[in-house]
Structure 1
Amino acid sequence: MARPTPLSGFPELLPGQRAIEAHVLDTLRRTFELHGFAGIETRVVEPLDRLAKGGEIDKEIYVLRRLQAADDQDDSGQASQLGLHFDLTVPFARYVLENAGKLDFPFRRYQIQPAWRGERPQEGRYRQFTQADIDIVGHGELPFHHDVEVMRVMVEALGRLPVPPLSFQLNNRKLIQGFYRGLGLPDLTTAIRVIDKLDKLPPEVVADQLVELAGATPEQAQRCLELATIRVPDTSFVDRVRELGVEDELLETGLAELAAVVEGCAPSAGERVTVEANLRIARGLDYYTGTVVEIFMSGYERLKSVGGGGRYDALADDGKTTYPGVGVSFGVSRTLVPLISDGVLTSSRSVPSAVLVALVDEESRGASDAVATALRARDIACEVAPAPQKFGKQIRYAERRGIPYVWFPPVDGHGGDAHEVKDIRTGDQVVADPATWAPPPEDLTPRISTSVMTKEHP
């Protein structure tokens, strides 16, 4: 059989790299659950008509069908048009509608799952990738304070991760729409979509498009750009916006909401995560109606955002009830795979084992197994050496795998009944009892290290 070649856009991690991802996922789950978010998992497929409802990424949807099935029939003879979900929002909206009678609202959920998108693979963009989402959804209404809560929880969660510093760039669609309405722009939706291109196009090009596509005058386009240049780490943006002289009731609501989110997130921010009001952030998707956020990673600005989200007043609608929500999505694969590839994130070992129990000979394998059983009973991950080689070779075996401790059972005629354990990093070896000994807490699981980034990689 020929050696297989990797599939572009479908990253696979080695064991040590997987330990990094597992640490990140465990940290996220723990933080989300500390704030009362319940974990769910949705199916990987959705009807194509639901997936394609937005119309923006139809060409990127992977279709699912059996190889030998008729072109458009499943086993029951019904039309079968299924696709793999490309994010977690669409299946979550369907989940809420299907289970509304069984859920308690406001419903707080987190979801960490793979998604699939058939786009051109590149750094940070993959055809299979893992996302971590949190959302709070209401029944008919959802008070604004949940916007503050969701943003604060994600700030706290990401602040616990061993990644380069992250920046939450916050804005509010009401602020943008109110400003444009106060200016008298004829096409607010198009204006928002055009402003959202500022990270890709020069300001003068964006200004021209505001005139050509959104019906703005050159003066109005310039005012839009002035708004988009406001970026501050506190609530001083309120006065700066008012200094532009535009008045509108919706604008005032947006200013108040954004100020509340910035202030509410500040206690959870720090060196690891910063929070800013950035009035150029628009997020092009039409369903956002209030708070919006983009998350960027220091040294990896080339990835664009590694997360984002906001308020949507109509996540789902069954014709009788509307389910508004607010949520944030973090791109786990988008963030971790480049960091792992660049050696920014490393793991101290490639296996969970903290201890390798040495094997004197095959006849004493049962004794070594008994030691391992005693250690595992106290949640100490360990494994027994695969073969009774010389102890020097067994130590080198542990070194290659990053296992920090080697346990030596008693050897007949050498040491009596004493067990000994050796820290092979320092050479320290002590007498130990399998029923009571434990490594330091920091050695119980693989340690994740982060290299300091001084500049962006080319």
Structure 2
Amino acid sequence: MSKPAPLSGFPEFLPAQRVVEQYVVAMLAETFELHGFANVETRSVEPIDQLLRKGDTSKEVYLLKRLHDETGDAGMGLHFDLTVPFARYVLEHAGKLDFPFRRYQIQKVWRGERPQEGRFREFLQADIDIVGRDELAFHHDVEVTRVMLQALARLTFLPGFRLQVNNRKLIQGFYLGLGASDVDEVMRLVDKLDKLSPERVAKSLVADAGLSEAQAEQCLALATIRTPDDSFVEQVRALGVEHPLLEEGLDELARVLRGTAGLATAKVRIEADLSIARGLDYYTGTVFETRLDGYESLGSICSGGRYDALATDGRTTYPGVGISLGVSRVLVPLVQRGLVTGDRSVPSAVLVAVTDEESRGQADEIATALRARGIACEVAPSAAKFGKQIRHAERRGIPYVWFGTEVKDIRSGNQVAADPATWEPPVEDLRPTIITKEIEK
């Protein structure tokens, strides 16, 4: 059998790299649970009509096909995000949930798009959402923003990042106040400003959305407003456009900026960015996007927003607000560049040496005593010379080797008498830790 080639868009980590992913997942879960979010995991498969009911994403869906049936089963597909499956989950289990329902979910998703840096066909995503029954107070928009900011801030190996916030009511109200006849088309075109020049977007607004040149200029003026605080309110009002929905959006966005101001640091920046719209149809208010310093080409690594009608059974509506972190999108580029990894490829803190095969049972007893106290260890695979056993530990990153009644720190060479019933390594050696290098901009 020839050596298999990597499958594009399906990243895999080596053991030391996987340490980083496990650390991130554990840190995120701990942060979310500290804020009272319950963990759920939804099924990987959803009916196609459910996956496509909000927004045109049919080209991204992996359809399921039964191997024994040439016609396949085109009615099912792998989920391409966690929000739509979660909406279905809420509807299906509403009678057994307490509202507002707070959920976090860290799970694989699949998307049939062209692989490139930060974009994969299979990737890990981490979501938090708060969902209400019929209504959901706005303060939850501020809360999910604060929770995700705190989670990202705990991942200290990351470079700085910028959370950009906008409000769909604000931009929709502005376009309505301008007299735009097709607000959705205007929003769709303005949302392309991160890919197209302002001149091209302005021409499209006139040609495709039916705006006058003066109206197009006003739309672009709105989209250029960016502030780290609520001073955007006066800048918007200075444009001279009025509409009740605009006022509602201004108030909500100002509340988010004021509610998160205390979390800003040199590495964690929050700003109102009035060019942000988010392309999916189901967002109705607050919208988020996040850029990683030095890795802006990845696009948004963390996004989401308020959705008021995504989950409804026709009688009851379950409005929600959520934000999603692309764990793979963040980690894979950093890991592939060798900028972050684990300090060892195994969880073992100790290798128990074997003098000869007749004494392997004694080595096993030492290992059992250490494991009973939560110290990960392994027994040497062969009774080779001690120098070779030490080199085996070095290759695996194991910091300690146990010889009979003594233990040796093979990094410093220090060797001391030890009892497996009482000895323990320093806390920093007990589990693999994260090693980082300076992240190049």
Counting only pairs closer than 5 Å after superposition, residues 116-155 of structure 1 correspond to structure 2 as 116-155=110-149
Identity %: 66
Structure 2 residue identity aligned to 1:17: Q
d(CA) in 1 for partners of 2:310, 2:419: 57
Tell me the residue number matched to 1:443. Answer: 429
Moved runs in structure 1, 4+ residues, more than 4 A?
A: none
d(CA) in 1 for partners of 2:428, 2:254: 40
d(CA) in 1 for partners of 2:271, 2:437: 25
Tell me the residue number matched to 2:43. Answer: 43
Query: Is 1:105 the counterpart of 2:91 in the alignment?
Result: no
| Structure 1 residue 70 displacement after superposition | 5.6
Counting only pairs closer than 5 Å after superposition, residues 254-269 of structure 1 correspond to structure 2 as 254-269=249-264
d(CA) in 2 for partners of 1:291, 1:46: 27
d(CA) in 2 for partners of 1:399, 1:187: 65
Q: Quick one: which of 258, 275, 278 aligns to 1:283?
A: 278
* Equivalent residues of 2:64, 2:72 under 8 A apart: no
Counting only pairs closer than 5 Å after superposition, residues 345-384 of structure 1 correspond to structure 2 as 345-384=340-379
| Structure 1 residue 55 displacement after superposition | 5.0
| Structure 1 residue 286 displacement after superposition | 1.5
- 3-state SS of the aligned residue for 1:276? strand
Deviations 1:320-375 (A, max 9, x none): 10110000011011111111011111210111111111111111212211221121
Counting only pairs closer than 5 Å after superposition, residues 174-193 of structure 1 correspond to structure 2 as 174-193=169-188
d(CA) in 1 for partners of 2:359, 2:86: 54
Query: Is 1:222 the counterpart of 2:212 in the alignment?
Result: no
Tell me the residue number matched to 1:412. Answer: none
| Structure 1 residue 37 displacement after superposition | 0.5
Query: Is 1:425 the counterpart of 2:411 in the alignment?
Result: yes
Structure 2 residue identity aligned to 1:160: R
Tell me the residue number matched to 2:386. Answer: 391
Structure 1 residue identity aligned to 2:304: G
Structure 2 residue identity aligned to 1:367: Q
Structure 2 residue identity aligned to 1:7: L
- 3-state SS of the aligned residue for 2:77? strand
Query: Is 1:241 the counterpart of 2:236 in the alignment?
Result: yes
Query: Is 1:296 the counterpart of 2:282 in the alignment?
Result: no
Number of positions where the alignment pairs a residue of Structure 1 with one of Structure 2: 440
| Structure 1 residue 227 displacement after superposition | 1.1
- 3-state SS of the aligned residue for 2:93? helix
Structure 2 residue identity aligned to 1:361: D
Structure 1 residue identity aligned to 2:247: E
Deviations 1:104-123 (A, max 9, x none): 11110011111111111111
Tell me the residue number matched to 2:195. Answer: 200
d(CA) in 2 for partners of 1:269, 1:241: 23
Structure 2 residue identity aligned to 1:65: K
d(CA) in 1 for partners of 2:355, 2:121: 48
d(CA) in 2 for partners of 1:29, 1:216: 47
| Structure 1 residue 27 displacement after superposition | 0.5
Tell me the residue number matched to 1:11. Answer: 11
- 3-state SS of the aligned residue for 1:130? strand
User: What is the RMSD computed on CA atoms of the aligned residues?
Assistant: 1.4
| Structure 1 residue 17 displacement after superposition | 0.9
Tell me the residue number matched to 2:338. Answer: 343
d(CA) in 2 for partners of 1:209, 1:84: 35
| Structure 1 residue 308 displacement after superposition | 0.4
| Structure 1 residue 72 displacement after superposition | 5.2
Tell me the residue number matched to 1:316. Answer: 311
d(CA) in 1 for partners of 2:178, 2:204: 17
- 3-state SS of the aligned residue for 2:308? strand
d(CA) in 2 for partners of 1:252, 1:431: 73
- 3-state SS of the aligned residue for 1:322? coil
- 3-state SS of the aligned residue for 1:222? helix
Deviations 1:139-167 (A, max 9, x none): 11100000000111001011111222221
Structure 2 residue identity aligned to 1:451: K
d(CA) in 2 for partners of 1:441, 1:430: 18
* Equivalent residues of 1:159, 1:269 under 8 A apart: no
- 3-state SS of the aligned residue for 2:329? helix
- 3-state SS of the aligned residue for 1:235? coil
Gaps of 5+ in 2: none
* Equivalent residues of 1:348, 1:448 under 8 A apart: yes
* Equivalent residues of 1:163, 1:450 under 8 A apart: no
- 3-state SS of the aligned residue for 1:197? helix
Tell me the residue number matched to 1:56. Answer: 56
Structure 1 residue identity aligned to 2:339: V
| Structure 1 residue 2 displacement after superposition | 1.9
Structure 2 residue identity aligned to 1:153: V
d(CA) in 2 for partners of 1:351, 1:274: 36
Tell me the residue number matched to 1:415. Answer: none
d(CA) in 1 for partners of 2:331, 2:29: 16
Give the alignment's TM-score, normalised by structure 2: 0.97
- 3-state SS of the aligned residue for 1:394? helix
Structure 2 residue identity aligned to 1:99: H
- 3-state SS of the aligned residue for 1:108? strand
- 3-state SS of the aligned residue for 2:319? strand
Query: Is 1:402 the counterpart of 2:397 in the alignment?
Result: yes
Tell me the residue number matched to 1:32. Answer: 32
Tell me the residue number matched to 1:76. Answer: none
